Chains A and B, each alone.
Chain A
Amino acid sequence: MLEIIREYGLMLLIGEYPHGKLGGLALTLIISIVSLAVTFPCAILIALARTGQSRPLKAIASGFVHSVRAIPLLMLIFWAYFALPMAIGFPIDATYTLIIAIVVYQAAYLGEIIAAGIQGLPNGQVEAAKALGLGYVPTTFRVILPQAIFNVIPGIVNQLTTIIKESSLGSIIAVSELSYVMLQVNSNEVTKPLQIFGILAATYFILCFALSQATNWLERRIANRRTGRVLVEVIA
């Protein structure tokens, strides 16, 4: 195992960079972060449409959510990879294709999570904002969303780790992210699949586990601030 890491470690981290395209773990991280960054505002719009007053917007948003949830991500990737370039008339880089597919897919799920956060708020919060004379924008962005998003942080992190794991599907359309790199290593080394895919699994595990731990910590910190409890550090 160590031997594989010694030989392919750099490739695992950055792919063929600087001689070729950036790949490996670095690309996985970039894809995940960019996907989440684009997904988040889309998801907020979907959540606002789902919980808002406008019937047409509600219908569009729920149509989108129900359609996307009923198809596998892999199929969305195929669509984006094979059908989208034909529809728009020019080819798109596979990495972008993957990001587009993940964003479309995750926006539906994350949108539902944020919508649940909005619906879970006491009605009095919206009423108080209304009674003060606040319009839709300040009520939404200063009163509703800060509370709703905070309440669904665990769900959001869950989706983030899902995005990291889903980026591995990029290997099917030759996006040279972590899984694709390890597939290549496996074809070079033919006889060591156990070690190679062991390393792959461990890398994903460390990434996702660290992320959820970091978020737990962050969540506790905010919760303590909001409920006024002082975090007591135990000095051993």
Chain B
Amino acid sequence: MIEFQGVSKWFGPLKVIKEISATVDKGTTIVLCGPSGSGKSTLVRTVNRLESIQEGTITVGGMDINAKSVNVNTLRTGIGFIFQQFNLFPHLTVIDNVMLPLRRIHKQSRKEALPAALLMLERVGLADKANSLPADISGGQSQRVAIARSLILKPEVLILDEPTSALDPEMVSEVLKLLRQLSGEGITMMCVTHEMGFAREVADRIWFLKNGALTFDAKPELFFSSGTHPDVRGFLSSIQKNH
């Protein structure tokens, strides 16, 4: 579904992604982890061209996303993207946030867009908050609305960049529960997270990045086993110390 071939990226003189080649199969969930500054966020942001790459190719569904013929907005409607800070539009109600892509991309009227948006809110368990403003709901609820908004155009891929890192601990579980559910429904997912319990349970493969390179790509069983990569072992023990 998503294929990275020799992908490199520089920020000025600094090479932040180093010749990454890897594949994400359709319907699978990939968890990306690694120390901060390892390039996980940058890598997932290249998939919907929020970041450009200087070398290599990325294909999504067989299409080279950086080809001249590709319309970047069409590409992005097929890829849901979730940010750490939710980035809901504060001047719009919850339902208007969710309806926005339908109305402004599919050019639907409010009346046409409403049923699908309400259904999507029901799916994330927030139908009762439809008319609230983002300022009135909790962080966990905000992130669920952001997920509903990014799924409203039925993308085949969902990318999550530390979806629970800005949440209070008691709100992390409600978001993870939703992600578990989505992962089970067969959407292709790439998720940057430090939630190792979630990774162990949901991920089909875990990618470990260090200094911009993909140093280890393994199934969770191997990733968390004693036979794992030495860098991973160090990383895991450093996270555990903090918990």
Contact A226 B149 (CB under 8 A): no
B68 within 8 A of A: no
In the complex, which residue of chain A has the Cβ closest to the Cβ of B96?
A142
Give the interface residue-count category, chain A. 20 to 34
Contact B133 A132 (CB under 8 A): no
B90 within 8 A of A: yes
Contact B135 A227 (CB under 8 A): yes
* Interface of chain A residues 110 through 124 with chain B (CB within 8 A): 122, 124
- The CA-CA distance from A134 to B107 in the complex, in Å, is 11
- The CA-CA distance from A129 to B136 in the complex, in Å, is 21
In the complex, which residue of chain A has the Cβ closest to the Cβ of B159?
A131
Q: Which residues on the B side are within 8 Å of A143 (C-beta)?
A: 89
B36 within 8 A of A: no
- The CA-CA distance from A138 to B101 in the complex, in Å, is 10
Contact A131 B50 (CB under 8 A): yes
* Interface of chain B residues 30 through 84 with chain A (CB within 8 A): 48, 50, 73-77, 79, 81, 83
Give the interface residue-count category, chain B. 20 to 34
Contact B150 A131 (CB under 8 A): yes
In the complex, which residue of chain B has the Cβ closest to the Cβ of A132?
B101
B108 within 8 A of A: no
Q: Which residues on the A side are within 8 Å of B50 (C-beta)?
A: 127, 130-131
Contact B135 A226 (CB under 8 A): yes
Contact A132 B77 (CB under 8 A): yes
Between-chain CB contacts (< 8 Å), 22 pairs: A124-B83, A127-B87, A128-B146, A129-B89, A131-B76, A131-B79, A131-B150, A132-B150, A133-B77, A134-B73, A134-B100, A134-B104, A135-B73, A138-B104, A138-B105, A142-B100, A142-B104, A146-B91, A226-B91, A226-B133, A226-B135, A228-B132
B85 within 8 A of A: yes
A51 within 8 A of B: no
- Complex interface bits, B124-162 against A, C-beta within 8 A gives 1, otherwise 0: 000000001101100000000010011001000000000
Q: With A132-B76, A132-B77 in contact, is A225–B133 under 8 Å at CB?
A: yes
